[in-house]
Amino acid sequence: MTAEFWNGTMAAAAAAKQARVQVNAAYPITPQTHTVEYLSRFVNDGELDARLCKVESEHSALSACAGAAAVGARAFTASCSQGLALMSEVMYFTSGMRFPVVMAVANRTLSVPVNIWADHQDTLVNRDAGWIQIYTQTVQEIYDLILLAFRIAEHEDVCLPALVAYDGFILSHASEPVHPLDQAAVDAFLPPPGSADRPLLDPARPLQFGEVLFPDWYPDFELKKHRALADSLGTIRKAFEEFEAASGRRYAPVDAFATDGAEMVIVGLGSMMKTARHTAEKLREDGVRVGTAALRVFRPFPAEDLLEAVGGCRTVLVLDRDIGYGTGGMVYPDVTRILYHEDHRPDVLNFIVGTGGKDITPATIERCVELARGGYRGRVEFWPDARGAEEGVPYTEEPAAP
């Protein structure tokens, strides 16, 4: 197929359409709204044979998707920020029920202060809701990984919901050339919707769903759910390989660049990792051996892949576009956890950057590298783009330089 010029919300809607979703239930919220609008258009124009469940809240959006999944349909929703926070209860419910719902999230921070711009607070506070979490760096990736998410979530060994996250405005509203698959290729890549063989609500075979589990058996269930998510990494790898065969595009759980022999490796999520890579390329020309490792798959956590990327370096720079108030960035502890038991333990520094949509530019990344090289004397947490931190931007009367 020829290239399209799509923004992120359109790429998400197009992928859902080509996946032949059967029930689509979503509620408007900036910057995700256009996905709902595009899907409404596809259905009203007769291009997509689906039901639009025009729900009155995000809580109901995901609940309706869960209901659709309970009778075997392919269900899709989209949300972010306040909407995702409202959905949180249903996210745990959906994963506990092992419903393979797919959700596109145009990352946006959580109010207050009111702010509609990108950071990963909304998906990261739900990182332990039992969902597969995939983070994207380009519009092409949004399209590809939503198709992949259906394939992975519905796989009989997985049966878990999956969300594909992309940075609000930075990717949702930026148009890039995208190479979609043609419909026949998508149909060959994904099983027909509603064909998954799993227990369903059906009067012909009455089953009880959502019942109580007493303490004696609870750990057994939790272990199964945990293992299912952890082990889904194998299915994810296989799906990536199959997708490469179908599209020619290669994905890995960790998108590593120049990590071999690197002195420093920058780790993080989302579109800022493209900026980090671009900056690393530049720094390498100046002889600073910087590599990058973007966590494309964040849940399940790709420990092995990340260890391979960062295990040999001297300093790991974890960029968190989020903040776990009162402790630190939310990606950081996952990175330190995997390194703690290694013989060679690099220093791991945490940079809180780009919250509430503050631009992450090459200068931001350079500043992080500079701080990492400057002798941090036991400090691990840095706020290079905040006023009020010693390492941050100064308070000034003058308007900030463009």
Partner 1 sequence: MKIKEVDREEYLSLGNLACAGCPETLGFRHVLKALGPNTIVINQTGCLAVVMQMAVPKVPHFHVLFENSAAVISGIDDALRVRGKREGVNLLVVAGDGGTADIGLSALSGAIERNQDFIYVCFDNESYMNTGGQRSGTTPFCARTSTTPVGKVIRGEDRVPSLRKDMLEIVAAHHIPYAASTSIAYPLDLIERVRKAAAVRGPSYIHCHSPCPTGWGIDTSEVVNAARTAVQAGVVILYEVEAGVRRRTKRVAKRKPIEEYLRFQARYRHVLDDPEALARIQKDVDERYEAITAALA
Which residues here bind partner 1, judged by CB under 8 A?
A: 22-23, 25, 49-51, 53-57, 59-61, 63-73, 75, 89-90, 93, 194, 201-203, 205-212
Residue the block writes with tokens 């194998």:
234
Mapped onto helix, strand or coil, the DSSP state of residue 141 is: helix
Q: How far is the CB of 20 from partner 1 (least distance, A)?
A: 10
End-to-end CA distance of the chain: 40
CB of 108 to partner 1, least distance (A): 23
**CB distance 265 to 316 below 8 Å:** yes
Q: Which is nearer to partner 1, 89 or 241 (CB)?
A: 89
CB of 68 to partner 1, least distance (A): 4
Task: Characterise 178 by phi-psi region: left (phi > 0), alpha (psi -120 to 50), beta (else).
Answer: beta
CB of 159 to partner 1, least distance (A): 16
Min dist. Cβ of residue 165 to partner 1 (A): 23
Nearest approach, Cβ of residue 114 and partner 1 (Å)? 23
User: For residue 300, is the peptide bond before it cis, meaning its omega torsion is within 30 degrees of 0?
Assistant: yes
CB 317 within 8 A of CB 352: no
Question: 75 or 264: whose CB is closer to partner 1?
Answer: 75
Residue 330 CB, nearest approach to partner 1 (Å):
26
Residue matched to tokens 């029930």: 23
**Positive/negative CA dihedral, 241, 157, 100, 104:** negative
Report the interhelical angle of 139-154 vs 8-18 (nearest 10°).
Answer: 30
DSSP line for 27-45: ---TTTHHHHHHHHHHHHT
- Closest distance between partner 1 and the C-beta of residue 100, in Å? 13
Question: Which residue type sits at 343?
Answer: D
Nearest CB to partner 1, comparing residues 36 and 90:
90
Q: Closest Cα partner for 18 from 41, 48, 53, 38?
A: 48
| Nearer CB in complex with partner 1: 89/304 | 89
Please report how close the Cβ of residue 48 comes to partner 1 at its closest, in angstroms.
Answer: 10
Q: Which is nearer to partner 1, 101 or 236 (CB)?
A: 101
Q: Nearest-5° angle of CA 132, CA 137, CA 141? A: 70
Nearest CB to partner 1, comparing residues 77 and 109: 77
Taking the least distance from each CB to partner 1, the nearer of 22 and 279 is: 22
Other CB atoms closer than 10 Å to residue 388's CB: what's the count?
9
- Is the Cβ of residue 214 or residue 325 nearer to partner 1 in the bound state? 214
Pairing of strands 4-6, 176-178: antiparallel
Nearer to partner 1, 216 or 286 (CB): 216
SS3 track for 168-200: CCCCCCCCEEECCCCHHHHHHHCCCCCCCCCCC
- Using alpha carbons, list the distances in angstroms from residue 132 to 102, 103, 145, 381: 9, 10, 12, 28
Q: Alpha helices of 53-202 — where are they, by DSSP H?
A: 58-70, 81-96, 121-124, 139-154, 183-189
Q: Which is nearer to partner 1, 75 or 102 (CB)?
A: 75
What six digits make up the tokens of 401?
A: 């330089």
The least CB distance from residue 66 to partner 1, in Å, is: 6
